[in-house]
Amino acid sequence: MNKSDFFKQTGKAFFFDDPFEIGKYALRHFPGDCGALVRSADDVADQRFLFNLRWDMERTHEPVVFDGDIDWLYQPGDDPEWIFAFNRMRFWICLGQAYALTRDEKYPRAFVKQLRGWVETVRPDDPKCAQAWRSIEVGLRLEYWLKAIRYFESSPEVGGEIVALFCESVHEHARFLMNIWNWYQLTSNWGVLGNHGLFMAGAMLPASAQADEYAREAAKRLSLEIRMQVYRDGTHWEQSPMYHNEVLSCYLDVTQLAERCGITLPGNIARQVRDMLYFDLYSAKPNHHEICMGDSDDIDQRDLLAKGAALFRDGLLKSRAGELPDFDALWDLGEAGLRVYEAIPAIPPQGTDKAFRDSGNFYFRDSWSENATFVHFHCGTLGAGHGHADKLHVDLFSRGEDVLIDSGRYSYVFSDHRVRFKELLAHNTLRVDAKDIYVCRDSWECHDLSRGVNRAFSSDGRYGYAEGGHLAYMDLGVFVNRRVIYLKPDIVILADEFYASGRHTYEQFFHFNNAGTPEGGGDRYTYRSSRVTAEMLLLAEGLSSSLRETEFSRHYNQIETNKTVASSFTGVGFTGAFTVIALGDAGCRRTLEAVKIPVTSSFKGTAFEAGQVEALDVRFGGSHFTIVVAHEEFASPTDAFDADGCVGFGGCVVFDRAAGETQIGTVLSW
């Protein structure tokens, strides 16, 4: 193939027109990122491979160096994810971007050498190469190859022979994907990652009937896959923000290419992609990172919001992406996308709290600043192989820092670590009679799945409320329910309810970030760091607690130690427990006080039992609240409660005592 025949599509089927113009923009605005990228590209040119880029799904922390020919099927340890990541070749984009920044011919020279070596040795019909030809690798490889080669248009190292070899292999990849599609592909992120590569091949190869067929078939599949895999609330069903974002990234590429190439996509794709972007907007922590929920890493996701803002001309998305698109986003936006992005007026979000009811994820914050307090509560499905035993889990972030964390994933190799990071004890949730809610069969499959129920949400700007339970312990005769009450800006209350027959032992787990130090014992603990102070009171009859050393993982193949508070108590019949957390600045000396107070019937004058209605008196700094929680219906024939002079009716009611409120209050749940 003539080189010019391939690149004559410039301005149509590529993401940008002139890589050197993007390089100039990057050097002006992101000199530090440019330096880091060139160093990564130098490693690749020297055959020194480390997977530590922003969206590398399985990061590594020790480089692998090849002195002679590259062995593309080499596995340095017991984890085959290294082979998978190696054969996706995301690092070729680094070579291309380094060339755009420096015009140094060593980068296209390395690309050509590695391309030749790979095509000659890693064949789809060779059983020894099966790990490099999984459909997920094929799809991602198409994306990375097709993006990478665009940077080398002007290089004399990339001649017509190389372009012909490249296109022949891209067709081979596309034909491979055309023959793979089934119910697994329809339901799994593998289908999206594979078929987005097929679409890119169809859009970016020189025009032909075959290329048109690739794009047409891929668009049809992608339309069905997003309908199957993405809930109405915009959340990917696998309940892992990282894989939600991998899928979203694929659809952003497809949508952007379709626009540039004049390809009409099925109408549901644009609508659902936008829904996925809004999930990212509301679910990101105040530092813009995704939560380490399920198999996820601690990653800044603003690049996706920036691309979505430009693609949909959306000022709301831009408000959370930044005044300028970030370093990773600008390479895909191109010159035209940058002009569009700069012209979009940012529109701040109107509300702070959001319920994603289909997926069972609820998010609260007191503002949109990076120092905001942020609360996440989860009561949804397991979410396939990437999901963890995290029903009723709570994340807490404040003053620019995680306070209560999700423990992450660490590794996909089936081992004690894989099980430990997936099981209930790795999450800020509840356990009954030392029984886990799921049992891992292997790295991906669990049995004894249960249903999340009783989900509720309310928000009025001052207070946030979410509730949920699950059926995992019904065989023990226990229904577990958790209420999350957020009194903005600084008080979070968890009301845990165990509706049971007989005697049972209950446990609560609270995993703290290791940026600070938790101390204490009994019913009171305090977490202190250079940013935030968090006081925690545990209120349950007969409670005992301890501070344990545990482990968590911010990134794949990376493990750290932290401290976890574990509490336990025993109850007969209905048993309830309250946890009150108060947040302040570093060095805060305000003392949290929280006690249970009696509740009586305002009509009958009789005292309610603890299993019927309970109330808390909470004081912190100048704040003073009475919170009343009804564990069961109590109004028969007509009734209201009275808690230290606070009279009202409802399932969860807050009285602002500091403001003199004692009548009716604010009902968070009826």
Buried-exposed string 229-262: b where 16+ CB fall within 10 A, e elsewhere: bbbebbbbbbbbbbbbbbbbbbbbbbbbbbebbe
The 10s digit of each residue's pLDDT in 147-173 is: 999 999 999 999 999 999 999 999 999
Q: To which H or E segment does residue 545 belong?
A: strand 544-552
Nearest to 310 by CA among 270, 334, 341: 341
Q: Across the chain, which distance is largest between two alpha carbons, in Å? A: 92
- pLDDT bin (cut points 50, 70, 90) of residue 448 is confident
Predicted local confidence at residue 11, as pLDDT: 47
The answer on pLDDT for 292 being more than 90 is: yes
The answer on pLDDT for 668 being more than 70 is: yes
Calculate what percentage of the chain has a pLDDT beyond 90. Answer: 93
The class (CATH top level) of 1-180 is mainly alpha
Do 206 and 5 touch, CB atoms closer than 8 A? yes
Per-residue pLDDT, averaged over 386-390, amounts to 95
> Which positions ≥6 away from 23 have C-beta within 8 Å?
97, 100, 101
Residue 242, φ and ψ in degrees, nearest 5: -65, -40
Structure tokens at 22: 């993007």
Per-residue pLDDT, averaged over 604-617, amounts to 94
Strand runs labelled E in 410-501: 430-432, 439-440, 446-447, 452-459, 463-470, 478-487, 491-500
The 10s digit of each residue's pLDDT in 236-251 is: 999 999 999 999 999 9
Per-residue pLDDT, averaged over 337-342, amounts to 95
Residue whose structure tokens are 């996701």: 301
Predicted local confidence at residue 568, as pLDDT: 98
The answer on pLDDT for 446 being more than 70 is: yes
Residue whose structure tokens are 């391309």: 115
Residue 162, φ and ψ in degrees, nearest 5: -70, -40
CATH architecture of 355-590: Distorted Sandwich (2.70)
Predicted local confidence at residue 558, as pLDDT: 95
CA distance 23 to 100: 5
- pLDDT bin (cut points 50, 70, 90) of residue 9 is low
The answer on pLDDT for 10 being more than 60 is: no
Per-residue pLDDT, averaged over 483-502, amounts to 97
518: preceding bond cis by omega (within 30 degrees): no
Predicted local confidence at residue 8, as pLDDT: 78
Residue 308, φ and ψ in degrees, nearest 5: -65, -40
Predicted local confidence at residue 3, as pLDDT: 86
Higher pLDDT, 455 or 603: 455
CA distance 551 to 226: 35
CA distance 140 to 53: 15
Residue 603, φ and ψ in degrees, nearest 5: -90, -45
- pLDDT bin (cut points 50, 70, 90) of residue 12 is low
> How high does pLDDT run on average in the chain?
95
CA distance 491 to 487: 5
The answer on pLDDT for 134 being more than 80 is: yes
- AA identity, residue 458: S
The 10s digit of each residue's pLDDT in 167-214 is: 999 999 999 999 999 989 999 999 999 999 999 999 999 889 999 999
Calculate what percentage of the chain has a pLDDT beyond 70. Answer: 99
CA distance 379 to 397: 19
User: Please, is 391 exposed, middle or buried when counting C-beta atoms within 10 Å of its C-beta (0-12, 13-18, 19+)?
Assistant: buried
The 10s digit of each residue's pLDDT in 511-569 is: 999 999 999 999 999 999 999 999 999 999 999 999 999 999 999 999 999 999 999 99
Do 666 and 463 touch, CB atoms closer than 8 A? yes
> Which positions ≥6 away from 379 have C-beta within 8 Å?
360, 362, 391, 392, 452, 455, 466, 467, 468, 469, 470, 482
Q: Is 467 helix (H, G, I), strand (E, B) or coil?
A: strand
Compute CA 425 distance to the chain's CA centroid, rounded to the nearest angstrom. 20
Do 474 and 603 touch, CB atoms closer than 8 A? no
Predicted local confidence at residue 1, as pLDDT: 63
Per-residue pLDDT, averaged over 66-76, amounts to 95
Per-residue pLDDT, averaged over 68-79, amounts to 94
What crossing angle do the helices spanning 135-150 and 160-178 adopt, rounded to 10°? Answer: 150
| Sequence spans of domains, the chain | 1-180, 355-590, 591-670
Do 570 and 503 touch, CB atoms closer than 8 A? yes
Predicted local confidence at residue 17, as pLDDT: 86
